[in-house]
Amino acid sequence: MSPIASYRRLFTLAGPLYVAVAFIGRLPLAMSQMGALLLVSGSTGSYGLGGAAAGALAVANAIGAPVAGALADRVGQRPVVLVQSLLGGAGLLLLVMTSHADVAPGLVIASAGLAGAAMPQIGPLARVRWRPITRAQGPRQPRLMEAAFSYEGAADEASFVLGPALLGLLVVLASPSLAIVVAATVLLVFGCAFALHPTARLTHAHRAAVDGGARLVTGTFVVLAVAQLLIGVVFGSIQTGTTVLATQAGQAGVAGLVHASLGVGSVIAGLAVAGLPSRFGYAPRVLVAAVGLALLSSPLLVTDSVPVLFAVVLVLGFVVAPYMISVFMLGERAAPPSKVGAAMTLLAGATGIGYAIGSGVAGRLADVHGHLGAFSVTVAAGVGAALLALLAQPALRRLGGPDALAPEPGAEVPAPATS
Q: How does pLDDT run along the chain (419 residues), one tens digit per residue?
A: 677 888 999 999 999 999 999 999 999 998 898 788 888 888 888 867 887 888 889 889 989 999 999 999 889 999 999 999 999 999 999 999 999 998 899 999 999 999 999 999 999 999 999 988 998 888 888 889 989 999 998 898 889 888 888 887 888 788 889 999 999 999 999 999 999 999 988 876 545 444 555 688 888 999 999 999 999 999 888 888 887 888 788 876 677 778 788 888 899 998 888 888 888 889 999 999 999 999 999 999 999 999 999 999 999 999 999 999 999 999 988 888 888 888 999 999 899 889 888 888 888 888 889 899 999 999 999 999 999 999 999 999 988 766 555 544 433 333 444 44
Coil/strand/helix, residue 167: helix
> To 10 degrees, what angle do helices 122-134 and 77-100 make?
160
Q: Quote the CA–CA distance of 1 and 376 in Å, as a whole number.
A: 42
Cβ atoms within 10 Å, residue 218: 14
- CB of 320 closer than 8 Å to CB of 262: yes
Contacts of 146 (CB under 8 A, 6+ apart): 6, 273, 274, 329, 402
Pure H helices in 188-339: 192-196, 207-211, 219-248, 255-272, 282-297, 306-334
Confidence at residue 51, expressed as pLDDT on a 0 to 100 scale: 76
Q: Quote the CA–CA distance of 80 and 34 in Å, as a whole number.
A: 25
Residue ranges of domains in the chain: 1-205, 211-401
Q: Quote the CA–CA distance of 120 and 363 in Å, as a whole number.
A: 28
Rg for the chain, CA atoms, rounded: 20
Task: Please report, for residues 36, 84, 326, 377, the alpha-carbon distance to residue 215 in angstroms, rounded to integers and kept in the order given.
Answer: 36, 26, 21, 33
Confidence at residue 138, expressed as pLDDT on a 0 to 100 scale: 82
DSSP 369-394: HTHHHHHHHHHHHHHHHHHHHHHTHH
Q: What fold is seen in the domain 211-401?
A: Growth Hormone; Chain: A; (1.20.1250)
For the domain 1-205, what is the CATH code? 1.20.1250.20
Q: List the helix and strand counts (H, then E) for the chain.
A: 18, 0
Q: Do domains 1-205 and 211-401 have the same CATH topology?
A: yes
Confidence at residue 412, expressed as pLDDT on a 0 to 100 scale: 38
DSSP code of residue 24: H
Contacts of 364 (CB under 8 A, 6+ apart): none
